[in-house]
Amino acid sequence: MYGTILRTCETLFAKISKEKPMNYYEKALLRLRRNFNFSMGIYSGRPLLQRTLCKQMMQEVDELFIPRPYPLLRVEQDRLYLEIQEIYLTLLGQKCPA
């Protein structure tokens, strides 16, 4: 699941970057997504750490300011936030090993 999220993001940014170089906001979104996917892989099998990671990443994505001239990046930011939130809610439904 996490790999497909990363591939989707990379193909989106590859299309954008062919037209023009990536700006700061595109790089920041891609960095957040890659960090999230990498960390979820490291914390696999540790639902408490994954939940904490999801909360932290949702906060970071929410705090990332993207100016008005970049509406597509705002949509991508919202999509990333919702995907992390969906994973977080899935983790909440799992029982933690005692």
pLDDT, one tens digit per residue, over 31-76 is: 999 999 999 999 998 999 999 999 999 999 999 999 999 999 999 9
pLDDT score for 21: 77
Please state, in angstroms and rounded to a whole number, the distance separating the CA atoms of residues 23 and 85.
Answer: 26
**Contact assessment for residue 34 and residue 61, using Cβ atoms and an 8 Å cutoff:** no
Q: What is the pTM of this model?
A: 0.76
pLDDT above 70: residue 14: no
Q: How far is CA 20 from the centre of its chain?
A: 23
Q: How many secondary structure helices (H) and strands (E) does the chain include?
A: 4, 0
**pLDDT of res. 17:** 54
- pLDDT of 30 higher than 60: yes
> Contact at 8 Å (CB) between 36 and 50?
no
**Phi (first) and psi of residue 32, to 5 degrees:** -60, -45
